[in-house]
């Protein structure tokens, strides 16, 4: 009886803790207002007291920043990697994503650890390149997305045009939940379609709560009292159009990633944020089930499981410890416990674990599904690793994407080959870049999303591993993971053996030199499938 009662207690608290968690990421093209919005959300949550407390993790590429400057700035992003706060009895975890496009791969991986996303779009610039790419990643997992159209205090594009652009470029349906009344100099407020109230705009509002007028539908005469006649007429016309054109908000469609609710506001003026946050707390999903290569695992299962989605190295070469960021997927994480490391097939004890609340890191004794814990690591963990209480399944969903830039690693000191091997392996575990080793001649080619990573690699290999390298240009357009019947793959590999490499997991990759050539090869080998993502 006693045991039953104890178990029951644990189950109840697990269910409660899961229901309280909302773990999400904010994504945006650089400069759209991600940092500003994050800060305002933290202000609402009481996690910070003053504006300006959240540092941008943008990397200033302007005036001759050398590698260390970049790394120092990057260091900021560790402190702000995960920001937790409490709001309306919920525990909200914001996972920060790097602002610089060169670190896009970091962002892709971070998105595997969230349950939903808020996407910030600049109303002047509309949908920009980075946003499109990030949306593709969200679509791979049907991650629910809420859009926040920012900078309403500027003369932006027509709201209907912006919504059309989102639908077309991001390939998702939208449903406006609020509507701007004017824009730029003539911005008067937002009409909250979702809550049926009117939020009047006040430039540079420092207070958290703006003047919100409760109204009873768009025809309420209270609106006429608040706004000039022409603005009211235009608003009523536009809301009629909105309700005619867009389907009613459908929670299921949002949760399955088919429809994005849209809010309008101005982050820097703290305007339209409360509407966004309140709606987010109502509609955003609590921790969702995740898949291993064996089965689906529900957050409410009593056994702990989680995976590593990010590793950050200590910048001090004398202390090669790192922090591995683990997303808890099921059960309760307890500091000091031994957990099973599936890839190594052994148990590891985690006596040091950190939680992230706003800007402080603090030791945690327990954590729940949806939480992120920082684990101190001396080289056992790598991105994509699964930890659990003993089963073999590995969490799926941290794929590698074909890099954009490729260079060959040239070892400048033959005496240090071993150090180079080790350094490359460890830096690849951290996800700094991807390594492709050719079948022929063991040539090593590094692939990255941005040019910056080559500098990072060169510097760190020398400083941390005493390995001196140079990077040589190579002519590669894309790395394609290959799939298909064994016989088709064998025939292909035989034919193209000079262009076949293995990725860090030993998976076969075709290193295509040009787009045209890749197309030709695809036509010539119809039974081989070429993928730009390592998981297919």
Positions in the binding site for ligand G4P (CB under 6 A): 28, 30-36, 56, 58, 99, 150-151, 153-154, 266-269
Query: How many Cβ atoms are within 10 Å of 535's Cβ, its own excluded?
Result: 14
Cβ proximity to ligand G4P, 119 vs 353, nearer residue: 119
CA dist., res. 50 & res. 53, Å (int): 6
**CB contact set of 531 (below 8 Å; sequence gap of 6+):** 480, 481, 482, 483
Cβ proximity to ligand G4P, 94 vs 328, nearer residue: 94
10 Å CB burial of residue 102 (0-12, 13-18, 19+) is buried
CB of 267 to ligand G4P, least distance (A): 4
CB of 193 to ligand G4P, least distance (A): 20
10 Å CB burial of residue 60 (0-12, 13-18, 19+) is exposed
CB of 40 to ligand G4P, least distance (A): 9
CB of 101 to ligand G4P, least distance (A): 11
Cβ proximity to ligand G4P, 150 vs 434, nearer residue: 150
Q: Per the structure block, which two tokens stand in for 300? A: 């409410």
Cβ proximity to ligand G4P, 179 vs 492, nearer residue: 179
Cβ proximity to ligand G4P, 123 vs 259, nearer residue: 123
C-alpha separations of 107 from 58, 131, 144, 354 in Å: 13, 11, 16, 21
Q: Are 464 and 479 in contact (CB under 8 A)?
A: no
Q: Which residues pair with 320 in a beta bridge?
A: none
CB of 65 to ligand G4P, least distance (A): 16
Cβ proximity to ligand G4P, 132 vs 282, nearer residue: 132
Block residue for tokens 């030199």? 513
Handedness of CA 283, 287, 291, 297 (dihedral sign): negative
Cβ proximity to ligand G4P, 269 vs 453, nearer residue: 269
Cβ proximity to ligand G4P, 125 vs 468, nearer residue: 125
CB of 207 to ligand G4P, least distance (A): 16
CB of 452 to ligand G4P, least distance (A): 16
CA dist., res. 517 & res. 512, Å (int): 7
Query: How many Cβ atoms are within 10 Å of 238's Cβ, its own excluded?
Result: 18
CA dist., res. 267 & res. 261, Å (int): 17
Q: What is the DSSP string of 427-470?
A: HHHTTSSEEEEETTTT-EEEEESSTHHHHHHHHHHHHHH---EE
CA dist., res. 325 & res. 354, Å (int): 9
CB of 108 to ligand G4P, least distance (A): 17
User: How would you classify the pairing of strands 259-264 and 290-291?
Assistant: unpaired
CB of 361 to ligand G4P, least distance (A): 22
CA dist., res. 527 & res. 488, Å (int): 6
CB of 268 to ligand G4P, least distance (A): 3
CB of 209 to ligand G4P, least distance (A): 17
Cβ proximity to ligand G4P, 33 vs 176, nearer residue: 33
Cβ proximity to ligand G4P, 100 vs 322, nearer residue: 100
CA dist., res. 101 & res. 117, Å (int): 18
The phi, psi pair for 383, rounded to 5°, reads -60, 135
Q: What angle do CA 268, 270, 273 make, to 5 degrees?
A: 120
Cβ proximity to ligand G4P, 31 vs 234, nearer residue: 31
């Amino acid at each position: 009886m006693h045991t039953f009662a104890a178990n029951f207690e644990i189950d109840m608290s697990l269910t409660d803790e899961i229901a309280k968690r909302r773990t999400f990421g904010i994504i945006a093209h650089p400069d759209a207002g991600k940092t500003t919005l994050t800060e305002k959300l933290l202000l609402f949550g009481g996690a910070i007291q003053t504006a300006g407390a959240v540092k941008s993790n943008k990397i200033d590429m302007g005036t001759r920043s050398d590698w260390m400057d970049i790394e120092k700035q990057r260091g900021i992003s560790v402190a702000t990697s995960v920001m937790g706060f409490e709001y309306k009895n919920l525990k909200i975890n914001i996972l920060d994503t790097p602002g610089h496009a060169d670190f896009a791969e970091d962002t892709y991986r971070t998105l595997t650890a969230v349950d939903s996303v808020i996407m910030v779009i600049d109303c002047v610039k509309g949908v920009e390149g980075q946003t499109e790419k990030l949306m593709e990643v969200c679509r791979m997992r049907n991650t629910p997305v809420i859009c926040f159209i920012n900078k309403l205090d500027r003369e932006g594009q027509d709201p209907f045009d912006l919504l059309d652009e989102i639908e077309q470029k991001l390939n998702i349906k939208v449903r406006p939940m609020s509507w701007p009344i004017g824009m730029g100099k003539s911005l008067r407020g937002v009409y909250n379609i979702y809550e049926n109230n009117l939020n009047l705009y006040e430039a540079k509002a420092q207070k958290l709560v703006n003047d919100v007028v409760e109204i009873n539908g768009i025809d309420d005469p209270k609106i006429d009292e608040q706004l000039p006649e022409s603005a009211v007429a235009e608003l009523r016309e536009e809301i009629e159009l909105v309700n005619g054109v867009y389907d009613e908000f459908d929670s299921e469609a949002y949760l399955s990633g088919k429809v994005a609710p849209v809010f309008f506001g101005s982050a820097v003026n703290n305007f339209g944020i409360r509407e966004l946050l309140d709606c987010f707390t109502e509609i955003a999903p609590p921790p969702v089930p995740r898949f291993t290569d064996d089965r689906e695992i529900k957050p409410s299962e009593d056994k702990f499981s989680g995976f590593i989605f990010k590793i950050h190295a200590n910048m001090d070469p004398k202390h090669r410890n790192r922090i591995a960021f683990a997303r808890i997927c099921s059960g309760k994480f307890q500091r000091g416990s031994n957990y099973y490391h599936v890839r190594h097939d052994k148990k590891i004890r985690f006596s040091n674990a950190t939680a992230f609340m706003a800007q402080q890191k603090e030791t945690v004794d327990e954590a729940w599904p949806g939480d992120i814990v920082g684990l101190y690591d001396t080289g056992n963990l790598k991105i994509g690793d699964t930890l659990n209480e003993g089963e073999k399944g590995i969490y799926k969903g941290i794929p590698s994407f074909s890099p954009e830039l490729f260079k060959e690693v040239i070892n400048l000191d033959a005496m240090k080959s071993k150090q180079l091997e080790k350094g490359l392996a460890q830096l690849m575990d951290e996800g700094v870049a991807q390594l492709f080793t050719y079948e022929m001649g063991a040539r090593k080619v590094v692939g990255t999303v941005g040019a910056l990573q080559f500098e990072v690699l060169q510097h760190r290999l020398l400083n941390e591993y005493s390995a001196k390298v140079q990077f040589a240009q190579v002519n590669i357009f894309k790395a394609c993971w290959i799939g298909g019947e064994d016989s088709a793959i064998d025939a292909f590999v035989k034919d193209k053996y000079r262009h076949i490499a293995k990725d860090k997991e030993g998976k076969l990759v075709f290193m295509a030199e040009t787009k045209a050539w890749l197309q030709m090869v695809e036509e010539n080998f119809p039974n081989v499938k070429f993928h730009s993502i390592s998981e297919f």
